[in-house]
Chains A and B, each alone.
Chain A
Amino acid sequence: MTGNKTALKLLGLAALLAFPVLPISSEYVMHVAVLIMVYAVLAMGLNVLPGFCNLLDLGYVGFYGIGAYTAGILAYNHNVSFWLIVPGAVALGALCGILRGAPTLRLSGDYFAIVTFGFTELVVLFLTNEIWLTRGPLGLPGIPPIALSLEFLGIDWRYDFLSEVPYYYLGLAMVAAVYVVMCRIEDSRLGRAWLAIKEDPLAAASCGINLMAYKTVAFAFSAGVGALAGCFMAQWSMFLAPDVFKFWESFLVLCMIVLGGLGNINGAIVGAVVLIALGEILRVVLPKFGLPAETRFLVYGLIMILIMRFKPGGFFPAIAATSKKSRLILDLKARLEAERAG
């Protein structure tokens, strides 16, 4: 049984690695695949707050924007290498995440939701108005692509990412890295503390969990992952405009994790795959009914309402990682639920 599972996983991995050379993968399919990876990273990053800590984040794409513009400006104006930008942008994103969350630390989760609701607006306002830095509504075109280079060692070798295929592999590596880190954290002291806060902040605090410290780490971590996705996206799409980072995008990412199941890392990835694919389909189908392509958000809104009503755990309801196999904890959870309902 376990052998079969391992074989299946290896087969899946092989399929993912071989995907670009398969006959079905046109330039368009590859583009969508890379887009899915960007959103998978965003969904996993967003998942930390609503999924692990029970805090509704409505402005997540702000960090995506901060990361993207950091990468865009540094690469475009100063020709800094992608590999150097990433740590800086992630650190900047994390700092902004802490600054955004800090005012609400001592208040209920509702305050956090509304602060994040306004945050995207502020990021878009900044990107639109600080023309000296971001060129404002004109956008930032001509960002150089990611490159591998050994020039800093004095060796004359350089490889520019000019087609979708290298981005596909880099994106796959990024998704895999974030995924592994997420899974490790979920099952660590940090992740268990977050889940405890999610279940019952008062009980968690009584067990000696420093709520403020753990929430701050969550703000920083989640935001840093968003900025990472932004860096990748900036040098992949090579064009940035403030409009890309509006509230709609945050909503889309939230919809992904709601669909997949809040708190489930696998669910976040599935949500990204399903909704990006659905978005591409709707982009073609909607105009046939004479509707603008933006109205696809109608479908996303509906998905969100229906899932919360009929399947609040999403399609892959999360169970705390540590309790996946423990009958004792499952039993405890069931009794807790029964008591709450009663």
Chain B
Amino acid sequence: MFEQQLFNGLTLGLIYALIAVGYTMVYGVIELINFAHGEVYMLGAFLCITFIQALGVPLFPAMALAMAFCAGIGVLIDQIAYKPLRKAPRLAALITAIGVSIFLQNIAMIIWGSRPVPFTRSAVPAAFSETAFTLGSVNVSGLQVFIYALTIAMMIGLTLIINKTKVGTAMRALAQNATAAALMGINVNRVISFTFALGSGLGAVAGILVGMYYNTLSATMGYNAGVKAFAAAVLGGIGSVPGAMLGGVVLGVAETLGAGYVSSQYRDGLGYAVMIAVILLRPSGLLGKSVGQKA
């Protein structure tokens, strides 16, 4: 039983990690909590089932399409809402981010309705819902295998992009010091757009995976996922990409075990409790640099 819970928690944690890297990358580059990120995650899931249902696209191309669309939406959000406020007080950008979040949530409600809808079952391969193999006492479903493979592949890809490519180097430079990066000839706006595209694409995949995993989508699903993924990013150390991955996994496991052994009703509150504990005990997170005293 414990092993099964642990395994399910890991699955969920990997998905959280995918969302959390989006928060942490944007925070690293422009020091903004992008509250709208949770909504991009929600839009990813809805766009995917729309492509499947309305256009008859098979699952995997639909996922890729949704990912591309969300990457575009992420860039658009930044260009329209955040870019004009780069030099404004931080509070203005934060308030705008909340406004964008609520705006997108309501757009989704208008387009897809305010009731939860199931994921298109017919598009999902039958193998996903069957037990693929049994490992000791743990039953692993086909979908879980898929989630593991996809999320881990994406995180390896992301790590490679950040550490090995030119644009990744530019992102890290920007995170350290935006002015110095600009002086070195880095096109700051392009790098910021790339960061939004990357984070939003990953967030969209996470939304689709959650939609398949729980077989339900709703316009408000981004709120909870947003708080949790941000908690994961804080847990790992805000601004640190490996930290966000680790934080997501730890939070997913903690949440599943907490729901199984402590209280299932307060499942959604656990991320919050973890976050408060981290802020009190180690504000720089597990892998982050010291944040010091910023009053």
Contacts and interface: CB of A to CB of B under 8 A. Distances in A.
Interface of A: 50, 54, 56, 58, 103-104, 106-111, 113-115, 117-119, 121-122, 125, 128-129, 197, 201-202, 205, 211, 247-248, 251, 254, 258, 262, 291-292, 294-295, 297-298, 300-305, 308-309, 312, 341
B279 interface: yes
Contacts of B106: 294-295, 297-298, 301
A252 B283 CA distance: 30
A308 B295 contact: no
B110 interface: yes
Contacts of B154: none
A300 B102 contact: yes
Contacts of A118: 227, 231, 271-272, 275
A248 B90 CA distance: 22
Contacts of B103: 298, 301-302, 305
11 contacts: A107-B279, A114-B33, A114-B227, A117-B227, A118-B275, A297-B102, A301-B99, A301-B102, A304-B98, A308-B85, A309-B96
A104 B275 CA distance: 11
Interface in B83-100: 84-85, 87-96, 98-100
Nearest to B88: A312
Contact of B98 (A125, A202, A254): A254
A125 B266 contact: yes
Contacts of A109: 90-91
A114 B275 contact: yes
Contacts of B276: 103, 115
A117 B33 CA distance: 11
Given A106-B295, A308-B99, A309-B96, A125 B268 contact: yes
Q: Which secondary structure dominates chain B's binding surface?
A: helix
For the complex of A and B, the 4 pairs showing the least CB-CB separation, nearest first, are A304-B99, A301-B103, A298-B106, A301-B102
Given A104-B279, A305-B81, A121 B95 contact: no
B234 interface: yes
Given A50-B91, A118-B231, A305 B96 contact: yes
A316 B215 CA distance: 47
Contact of A103 (B89, B92, B269, B280): B280
Residue of A197, A262, A295 ringed by the most chain B CB atoms within 10 A: A295
B122 interface: no
Contacts of A300: 102
Nearest to B279: A103
A103 to B, nearest CB: 5
A201 B295 contact: yes
A144 B294 CA distance: 47
Given A108-B294, A262-B91, A305 B223 contact: no
B94 A115 contact: no
Contacts of A50: 91, 95
Contacts of B85: 308-309
A110 B32 CA distance: 8
B153 interface: no
B224 interface: yes
Contact of A115 (B102, B109, B275, B293): B275
Contact of A125 (B31, B114, B265): B265
B28 to A, nearest CB: 13
A258 B31 CA distance: 22
A50 B89 CA distance: 12
Given A107-B293, A121-B224, 9 more contacts: A106-B293, A115-B276, A119-B272, A125-B265, A294-B109, A297-B106, A298-B102, A300-B102, A301-B99
Contacts of A114: 33, 227, 230, 234, 275
A305 B295 contact: no
A298 to B, nearest CB: 4
Interface string B265-293: 11011011001100110010000000101
